[in-house]
Structure 1
Amino acid sequence: MLAEKLLHGTKIQAPTEPDDNFMDIHSVNRYSPQFAESFPSVIEVKEDLPVGARVVHLSASDTDSGFNGKLVYVISGGDTESRFIVDMNTGRLLVHTPLDRETTDHYTLNVTVYDLGIPQKSSSRLLDVKILDANDNSPQFLQDSYSVEISENTPVGTDIVQVDSTDKDQGDNGVIRYSIVADTDQFAIDELTGVVTVKKQLDREVHPVYILKIAARDQAVNEPQLVSTVLLKRVIFL
């Protein structure tokens, strides 16, 4: 039984001299522990919170004395991925392993507080943990590279190819804008759609091949923006 194991462990570490606070280990355990009224029903945690960081303090009390009023805290359910841990003695909820909103964006933890009385008494509360997005994913192009062949007579304004990418983040962190990272005025790209168009009249005799680098950048506001690039290769004018 948990209470007996904890009680035994505590007794081993207890001082040998009598302590009035622990003389009633055989008295009646009348009361169950109770979480504080401030116990939250929902909390929000950003996914980049480091391992070991404190999330929230979940305090409880027990009006019994001695071991009957000594409390230990555990997460008794809802954390199959072992993302969180609660300090057994203080009730502080900590990040135990790295969080990833893209994998799991919500946890419902069952937090239980036990006393060390015999018979043991306990109370449990549910805590909803919402994982908030951090800009931890860069845009990813759907292809490793793109290529196209066009005629030098292709009219200005003609769409020649569309690049596409995705970003697993939410909100502005997942909004993508495109640009051409090259010193050329022959082509343009729609920053929203990724469609590349002919901007100026082409001339194969002057410039038969272009290799364009296209960037996809997210629009994070409160964090550094992340960017990925892809090559548009072998633009050969027939």
Structure 2
Amino acid sequence: MCKWMPPIAGLRPDLAVGTAPAVLPPFPSAASICLACFTLLLVAGTALGGCPPGGAGGGGREPLRALAGGTNCSWTLERHTRSYNHLEGDVRLRRLYSANKFFLCIDKTGKVDGTRRKNYADSLMEIRSVSVGVVAIKSVSTGLYLAMSKKGTLFGSVKYSPSCKFKERIEENGYNTYASLRWKHGGRQMFVSLNGRGKPRRGHKARRRHPSTHFLPMLPS
């Protein structure tokens, strides 16, 4: 049998004579606690089929890659080009200023061209998001939609059709590119493009990384 020993005055019962001192586990550091909490949040988000905060539409400028397989998250660890997934149905008035220093315009005859005149009426565009990352571009003054033919030719269309849909993407340099949603050439995307003289290039001759396909949507002054 064990005999109970009364504690010595001033000492804790577990430190009294005849008993071995208790060994307390080390207290976890603040960094360990933060890491554990973050891991729990990731696991909980995956179990619910969602994405952790800061992903698409969450306002994070540098998204993360989803850690759990099968989770439908659009964000990645590497720098990813952004799409306007939060602007579906949004309408913006902009002038599309090319890296070649021309404003895209559509005249009343349906001709697509470039102009250096900043406040030219035919260059003011209504950019409407028709679905996630897809826009329709319409000249405010002429009411014609920017469209691309099967051969990659740009023209102004009176009626809105699938040929008027363009995939809008922000590139690494901050400029936007607009690729036809409907038409491709040999499996390659065809882009809206203005050459060094401000003339439209055929879509199949344009490449995403070429300055002729890069446009900066500018607020009307």
Per the TM superposition, whether the score is higher than 0.5 is no
Q: RCO higher in 1 or 2 (8 Å CA, sep ≥ 6)?
A: 1
Point out the structure with the larger helix share: 2
Point out the structure with the larger strand share: 1
**TM-score of the pair, normalised by structure 2:** 0.26
